């Protein structure tokens, strides 16, 4: 009898258990690793497919030609584009193409064989340059310009300021120093384009973007959602009149419609999910954190937070007005005060018992201009630039969206009306 047999069996049993545990652990780890790989691949696949979900506004034009041809003249459409001679507003002519920071340092806007550039000179020697790659801004108030550094974007030091028709220091840049390297984030681009695909982690200071997966402008799919499925379905089913796989903002619940506009017109928002994930019809604050600070007309700038100002207005709180009650997003209505005033009259009329108290004093012409009285232009602190040689920034004038009675503005209108009437009376007397 072998006295070592029981021990041998025990050793074999223990060894088998250990081997089983080891193999099981390997299986679990491999399964977990494969699962992680699958997840990574799925995320990557989903990210790569995001761009494919967009059809492009030119495709929309095949069925919506009239709307498309009107929309390309709007500020939304013009808010970003590749930098070409056609799209850059400022002059490159000698004598009009230089911004001087001091007697020794200047930046010249130059056209070279490889494109348009902003070139820093010191005592006549070239120090550095950045190419105009992307135009940001419709040009109504101005344009800023972005430069590609490999797959990263930075803002160039010089901006075009439309109110005075001059090159200026870019907003927020130091007034006495040339700066080329302010990083542009996906959150910046989110309000000036339909889509930029990221190629890097947003935790990095400089985000990277895929240059081949960009949809410039705030275009059709920014407000209606990605349209590839919609185009495919409607092309195969041309007799179906109800639009499928697309969003009609006008049919959204009021809160979701306001969310869509607030994305870019709601002031600073802190994102909790990557930019460009929010789409038309989504709940905004599933993607951005709520602002806890109390808002009032004194701490809201007229640029960039029109929704904050509108939310303080009785038209919004009592009248339940939304942005599209006043704005036809498909057309350029900039400066057409009479059109906007007529929309005011949709609510402010005898039938609704809401007649302006100045009606008798102003007369029939009151229907032509509600805007200057109740939404006057105000100075923006956010859009303020240093012009050449200036010691203080020059702010842009923009209409407030805090709709209310402004007594001083009313007096200005009455004074102008009185002056106009006196002029007419004097001319009548002369004719007699």
Whether residue 91 lies inside any domain: the answer is no
Which pLDDT tens digit goes with each residue over 78-122? 999 999 999 999 999 999 999 999 999 999 999 999 999 999 999
Mean pLDDT over residues 276-303, rounded?
86
Selection from 315, 317, 331, 319 nearest residue 371 by Cα? 315
CA distances from 184 to 17, 70, 89, 181, 233 (A): 58, 30, 21, 9, 37
| 115-122/394-399 β-pairing | unpaired
Whether residue 17 lies inside any domain: the answer is yes
Structure tokens given for 96: 């009009």
Mean pLDDT over residues 369-397, rounded?
93
User: Residue 194 above 50 pLDDT?
Assistant: yes
Query: How many structural domains are present in the chain?
Result: 1
Strand residue runs (E) in 156-269: 158-161, 166-169, 182-183, 193-198, 209-216
Whether residue 374 lies inside any domain: the answer is no
Report the chain's terminal Cα–Cα distance, integer Å. 146
Which pLDDT tens digit goes with each residue over 335-370? 999 999 999 988 888 887 788 888 888 888 888 899
Which pLDDT tens digit goes with each residue over 241-270? 999 999 999 999 999 999 999 999 998 899
How much is the pLDDT for 140?
A: 93
Which pLDDT tens digit goes with each residue over 120-166? 999 999 999 999 999 999 999 999 999 999 999 999 999 999 999 99
The Cα 161–Cα 266 span in angstroms is 24
Structure tokens given for 193: 């384009």
Whether residue 323 lies inside any domain: the answer is no
Structural domain including 10 reads: 1-52
Give SS3 for 96: coil
Whether residue 45 lies inside any domain: the answer is yes
Average pLDDT, the chain: 86
Whether residue 329 lies inside any domain: the answer is no
Check: CB of residue 169 under 8 Å from CB of residue 385. Answer: yes
User: Residue 21 above 80 pLDDT?
Assistant: no
User: Residue 46 above 50 pLDDT?
Assistant: no
Sole residue written with tokens 């029109």: 306
Check: CB of residue 243 under 8 Å from CB of residue 233. Answer: no
Whether residue 82 lies inside any domain: the answer is no
What DSSP letter does each residue of 382-403 carry, written as one string? EEEEPPTT-SSPEEEEEE----
Which pLDDT tens digit goes with each residue over 411-423? 988 888 888 777 5
Mean pLDDT over residues 199-203, rounded?
69
Whether residue 21 lies inside any domain: the answer is yes
**Percent of the chain at pLDDT exceeding 90:** 69
């Amino acid at each position: 009898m072998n006295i070592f047999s029981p021990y041998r069996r025990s050793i074999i049993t223990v060894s088998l258990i250990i081997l089983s545990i080891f193999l099981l652990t390997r299986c679990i780890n491999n399964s977990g690793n494969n699962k992680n790989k699958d997840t990574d691949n799925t995320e990557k696949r989903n990210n790569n497919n995001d761009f494919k979900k967009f059809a492009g506004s030119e495709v929309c034009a095949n069925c919506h030609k009239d709307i498309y041809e009107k929309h390309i003249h709007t500020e939304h459409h013009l808010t970003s584009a590749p930098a070409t001679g056609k799209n850059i507003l400022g002059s490159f002519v000698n004598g009009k193409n230089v911004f001087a920071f001091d007697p020794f340092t200047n930046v010249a806007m130059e056209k070279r064989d490889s494109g348009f550039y902003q070139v820093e000179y010191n005592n006549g020697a070239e120090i550095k340059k950045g190419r105009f790659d992307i135009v940001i801004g419709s040009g109504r108030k101005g344009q800023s310009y972005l430069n590609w550094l490999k797959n990263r974007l930075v803002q160039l030091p010089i901006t075009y300021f439309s109110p005075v028709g001059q090159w200026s220091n870019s907003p927020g840049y130091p007034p006495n120093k040339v700066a080329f390297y302010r990083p542009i984030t996906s959150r910046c681009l989110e309000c000036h384009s339909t889509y930029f695909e990221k190629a890097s982690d947003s935790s990095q200071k400089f985000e990277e973007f895929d240059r081949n997966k960009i949809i410039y402008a705030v275009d059709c799919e920014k407000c209606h959602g990605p349209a590839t499925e919609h185009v495919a379905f409607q092309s195969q089913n041309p007799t179906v009149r109800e639009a499928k796989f697309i969003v009609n903002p006008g049919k959204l619940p009021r809160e979701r419609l306001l969310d869509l506009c607030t994305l870019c017109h709601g002031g600073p928002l802190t994102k909790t999910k990557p930019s460009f994930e929010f789409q038309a019809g989504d709940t905004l604050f599933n993607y951005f954190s709520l602002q806890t600070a109390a808002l009032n007309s004194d701490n809201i700038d007229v640029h960039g937070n029109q929704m904050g100002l509108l939310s303080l207005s009785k038209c919004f709180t009592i009248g339940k007005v939304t942005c599209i009650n006043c704005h036809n997003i498909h057309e350029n209505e900039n400066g057409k005060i009479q059109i906007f005033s007529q929309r005011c009259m949709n609510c402010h009329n005898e039938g609704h018992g809401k007649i302006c108290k100045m009606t008798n004093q102003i007369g029939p012409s009151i229907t032509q201009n509600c805007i200057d009285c109740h939404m006057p232009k105000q100075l923006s602190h956010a859009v303020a630039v240093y012009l050449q040689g200036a010691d203080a920034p020059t702010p842009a004038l923009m209409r407030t969206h805090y709709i209310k009675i402004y007594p001083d503005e009313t007096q200005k209108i009455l004074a102008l009306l009185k002056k106009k009437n006196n002029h007419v009376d004097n001319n009548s007397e002369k004719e007699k």
